[in-house]
């Protein structure tokens, strides 16, 4: 999943219907794969700051930010809020 030529990397994990994993196991494996890729890129220095959003098993939303300074952290946090509004809008409206 390395795309070192492009700063904008989209992680899309496609799981074959033939896999014998339950939907929860497939989802967990997908999350771990993305996190391992991000860890590898952070260790190599490709990722210096980040914002990520997640929903835990209880349905609580989280925004994860790692930034070099306070102003950058605020900006990345706002990006995280935007991700939730656009990605989870249907769930929030219902």
25 and 40 together in one domain? yes
Angle at 51 between CA 49 and CA 56, to 5 degrees: 140
pLDDT digits (tens, 9 = 90+) for 35-83: 999 999 999 999 999 999 888 888 888 999 999 999 999 999 999 999 8
Tokens in use for 70? 């306070």
55 and 35 together in one domain? no
What is the pTM (predicted TM-score) of this model?
0.64
Which residues have C-beta within 8 Å of that of residue 2, sequence separation ≥ 6?
Answer: 37
34 and 63 together in one domain? no
4 and 20 together in one domain? yes
Q: Which domain holds residue 79?
A: 49-94
CB–CB of 51/39 below 8 Å?
A: no
4 and 38 together in one domain? yes
Tokens in use for 34? 């993305």
1 and 42 together in one domain? yes
77 and 89 together in one domain? yes
């Amino acid at each position: 999943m390395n795309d070192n030529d492009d700063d904008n990397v989209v992680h899309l994990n496609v799981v074959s219907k033939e896999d014998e994993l339950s939907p929860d196991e497939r989802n967990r494996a997908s999350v771990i794969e993305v996190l391992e890729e991000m860890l590898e890129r952070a260790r190599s220095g490709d990722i210096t700051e980040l914002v990520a959003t997640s929903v835990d098993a209880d349905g609580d939303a989280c925004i994860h930010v790692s930034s070099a300074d306070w102003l950058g952290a605020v900006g990345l946090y706002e990006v995280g809020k935007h991700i939730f509004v656009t990605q989870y809008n249907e769930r929030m409206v219902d």
